Amino acid sequence: AAKSGGCFMENGTVVLADGTRRRMADLRVGDYVLALDRSSGKMVFSEVILFLDRNPLDSRKFLRIKTRGGNSVLLTPSHLVLRLSESEGVATEHVFAAEVAVGDHVLVAVGG
């Protein structure tokens, strides 16, 4: 999370290593959640090791990014997402969610 606050809404869900979903508010240190391995570009399960900024009483602005395929995510403007780099042809460009524009291609995980 950026200094401006958390990245996801507390009622957002993540996929756990056993295939179930859990609300962000219910995550615990030691849980394994589906995440992107930036070195390989593959989805892997990564251990939650700490919460830097977790205050359920804070109010924050969230953006909804929707894809043509019907997927969507709610996250803070300062959360990093992978956008398809036109020059590279692969999703290697990290940008803040606030910088994503209509017509951009972003990396999403589907299924599971």
Per-residue pLDDT tens over the stretch 30-68: 999 988 787 777 889 999 988 766 666 666 788 899 988
Nearest 5°: the CA angle 65, 68, 71 is: 55
Question: b/e map of 85-110 (b: 16 or more CB within 10 Å)?
Answer: eeeeeebebeeebeebeeeeebeeee
> Is CATH 3.40.50.800 the right assignment for the domain spanning 13-99?
no
Domain parsing of the chain, residue ranges:
13-99
Per-residue pLDDT tens over the stretch 79-97: 888 888 766 555 567 889 9
pLDDT of residue 3: 42
